[in-house]
Amino acid sequence: MSGHLRRTHRLNSREAARTVVKYRPSASDKPYVPTMRLALSGLCAAGLIWGQRVGAPTDELDKLSVEELFGIQVTSVGRKAQQLSKAPAAVFVLTSEDIRRSGATSIPEALRWVPGLTVLRLDGRSWVISARGGARLYSDKMLVMIDGRSLYNPLFSGLIWDSIDVCLEDVDRIEIVRGPGAVMWGPNAVNGVINIITKKAQATKGGLVSASAGNEQRAAATARYGFAPNDHLAYRIWAKTEYYTPAFDSPGYFLFDSTFIMRDPSITNLDFSTTRAGFRIDGQGGERDSWEIQGDGFKNDRQDPSGYAVVMPALMNRFQGHTDYEGGFLQGQWTHSLSEGRETVLQFSYDRTDIDYPFMSGGLNNATLDWQWRAPISERHELYVGAGYQQYWDSINGRFFASFNPTSSVYRDGDVVVRDEWQLLPQRLMVSAGMRTDYNSYSRFEYQPSFRLLYTPSARESIWFAASRAIRAPSRYDRALQVDAGGLSTALGVPMETSFVGSKAFQSEVERSLEMGYRRQAGQRWSVDLSTFWSYYDRLRAIQGPLMPILTWVGGNPILTMPMTLGNFASGRSYGGEIWGYWQVSSNWRLTPSYSYLNETQWLPGSQTAAYNWDGRPATIHHQGFLRSQHDLTKNLQFDLMARAHSRDLTWALPGALTVDARLAWRPFRTAEISLLLQDLTNRQIVECYSEGPTPAIPLRRTFMLKLTQTF
């Protein structure tokens, strides 16, 4: 362990504003400054030269017109293929072309361009992502899936974003549903659902290799090969490796007890490397049966500057830690289709992950089995029935300040789903109602109902309404965590030790939500999508403790203790809306604007017998917007410009920001592409959010990446 850093700050708006500072490029970045200036000059020159020229449309923007984007097929709303324009939910689709043209190197980077999502970068590896509030480190109210396989972790209610990785070239689309999706997808789909859908093996025949490098992503390589021996069988195999160095001698900011900020003047090692390989096999057993099997294995290695409180605010323990996690999954699905609209689907999955953090280690296992049946009862009536089973088990060893009691646990959940859909007026008015009932090891019976209505006065216009109840199920963190939060210096000079533990009485957090939306598409030129929402949250997680510290004597010395317990003590509400659209300026130029507003409030109970506090606070950003430009300068040259803006974070008093990214791509051959990506062109070196873990947040910085992709 290294020495102690003693410089700390109590969080208030004036102090927090001073934590965001501007500074000159670091020594590690200086060799790249001429290159970045030259690249930026080239991008500006290309825009001036080609800005007035109408190039021949490429195949890419012609693939999906505004009308086709308005009617694109989605499956994450009703677990069936339906047009986006006729989906009674706030849904957005990131196509494979959107992902490629964004220059994203990870799923969180791609999600930055989704209307209504809050996506904040912590340190170049970890992210805060949420929809409609609750923006915290592990996204505990968002359900994220890959091909319908949930990535939600029952250990701590959420997911580790830097462990979510796929071959981005194999992603067909990412469907994002803002708002509850619990009836179709289960607990934890509270504020939204993100479903990453990969391409069928038949769509990835042949080979692909890519390589990229820059001043943050130092090196990355991907290889994929797909083959179809006949019309009924296809497979692909792939592998990728990446190495990142997001640290650049910038300050780092540690957050302790949601109260104190410790500033490390120089963060030098946040290195992160990952290696992953996987496969997918798709087959058909006849005209009515299809199946798929896929899986992967991975290993992630990251350097973590870590810190925890010894005595706040005078003494913090700071050391260089190391995190390693590895594992893999196996997933299979069988689909039996009797006729149009009538099908049975059976899916299973198994995940294994071994984690090794500076503060804990262990093994996590998760197995699921899901069955669904859908059939039209009549021309106007469709019935959906489903059932599922999940078993999760782990063994966790605590270190330093965190542990679980008991160290091993098994969690089981069984569910039954029924949903009815009626066409009250064919092609005009649709009503659906559903109920999901779960029985789990922690909170026993849970119910999650939903009612949705869709009115389509014309083929290019729709209005929808939804009322839902969703839950965030208890986790091992809520029930069995034990944390030594460190000491706190007092005015009397007597140290006070603080700690908190989970509670076996912890219940599910509950959301009740009302939503409404409107969509309209006007010819081939533009479309618009508007949605509003209101949500009330009950039984939110918070901490309960005594009003005054408890005085004890240890070896003749007085010590104050503050024992605290997790529980369902808090409530909250949120409301707001999102608006976004497509504007086809010309045959080779498309704009995608977006704006969202969020008003979120949470409150603790008043009491004369106990003190209540938060175990963590979400980022509170009222206004967000972006403008994305996709311009085909010529048949072989593409220029993408992307601007994002958000207002001040009211929780942590962090400033708002406007950042701009640019990408220039050239196709010397039909099978090859060379691209240059510049992120944060304005070099807005700000902290977007603080971390809830023992690792620091660092400011943004200007980065560049050069990438070569070749198919054969």
For residue 582, the cross-strand partners are: 527
Q: Examine residue 180 and state whether it is found in any structural domain, yes or no.
A: no
Range of 342's domain? 4-52+202-711
Confidence at residue 70, expressed as pLDDT on a 0 to 100 scale = 76
Alpha-carbon dihedral sign for residues 404, 537, 134, 186: positive
**What integer best gives the mean pLDDT of the chain?**
88
Q: Examine residue 213 and state whether it is found in any structural domain, yes or no.
A: yes
- Please tell me the total number of residues recorded for the chain in this structure: 712
- Up-side HSE of residue 353: CA atoms within 13 Å toward CB? 22
- Up-side HSE of residue 43: CA atoms within 13 Å toward CB? 23
The pTM (predicted TM-score) of the whole model is: 0.90
What strands lie across the sheet with 142-146, from one edge to the other? 90-95, 171-178, 192-198, 142-146, 149-150
The DSSP H or E segment spanning 183 is helix 182-185
Helix H, strand E, coil C: the string for 351-374 is EEEEEECCCEEEEEEEEEEEEEEE
Q: Examine residue 80 and state whether it is found in any structural domain, yes or no.
A: no
Residue written as token pair 């789903």: 417
Q: What is the rounded distance in angstroms from the CA atom of residue 441 to the CA atom of residue 476?
A: 11
Confidence at residue 531, expressed as pLDDT on a 0 to 100 scale = 98
3-state SS assignment for residue 401:
coil
- C-alpha closest to that of 364 among 475, 260, 206: 475
For 229-260, give the DSSP string: EETTEEEEEEEEEEEE----SEEEEEEETTTE
Q: Examine residue 108 and state whether it is found in any structural domain, yes or no.
A: no
3-state SS assignment for residue 140:
coil
Q: What is the rounded distance in angstroms from the CA atom of residue 299 to the CA atom of residue 517?
A: 42
Q: Examine residue 185 and state whether it is found in any structural domain, yes or no.
A: no
Confidence at residue 490, expressed as pLDDT on a 0 to 100 scale = 58
Please count the other Cβ atoms lying within 10 Å of the Cβ belonging to residue 405. 13
Helix H, strand E, coil C: the string for 553-581 is EECCEEEEEEEEEEEEEEEEEEEEEEEEE
Confidence at residue 3, expressed as pLDDT on a 0 to 100 scale = 41
Residue 217 sits in a domain whose CATH number is 2.40.170.20
Q: What angle is formed at CA 316 by the lines to CA 314 and CA 321, rounded to 5 degrees?
A: 170
- C-alpha closest to that of 149 among 111, 194, 115: 194
- pLDDT-flagged residues of the chain (< 50): 1-62
Confidence at residue 26, expressed as pLDDT on a 0 to 100 scale = 45
Q: Examine residue 68 and state whether it is found in any structural domain, yes or no.
A: no
Alpha-carbon dihedral sign for residues 690, 696, 701, 707: negative
3-state SS assignment for residue 17:
helix
> Which amino acid, residue 427?
Q
Q: Examine residue 171 and state whether it is found in any structural domain, yes or no.
A: no
Confidence at residue 288, expressed as pLDDT on a 0 to 100 scale = 92
Confidence at residue 575, expressed as pLDDT on a 0 to 100 scale = 98
Q: What total number of domains does the chain contain?
A: 1
The string of pLDDT tens digits covering residues 349-401 is 999 999 999 889 999 999 999 999 999 999 899 999 999 999 999 999 988 77
Residue written as token pair 């912890």: 506
Alpha-carbon dihedral sign for residues 603, 606, 612, 613: positive
3-state SS assignment for residue 636:
coil
Q: Examine residue 383 and state whether it is found in any structural domain, yes or no.
A: yes
The string of pLDDT tens digits covering residues 59-97 is 443 457 777 777 789 999 999 989 988 999 999 999 999
Contact at 8 Å (CB) between 138 and 157?
A: yes
Residue written as token pair 């009703």: 78
Token pair belonging to 633 = 């300068």
The DSSP H or E segment spanning 598 is strand 589-603
> Which amino acid, residue 575?
Y
**Pairing assessment for the beta strands 703-711 and 206-214 based on DSSP bridges:** antiparallel
Q: What are phi and psi of 523, to 5 degrees?
A: 60, -145
**Pairing assessment for the beta strands 260-267 and 8-10 based on DSSP bridges:** antiparallel
For the chain, the straight-line distance linking the first and the last C-alpha, in angstroms and rounded, comes to 51
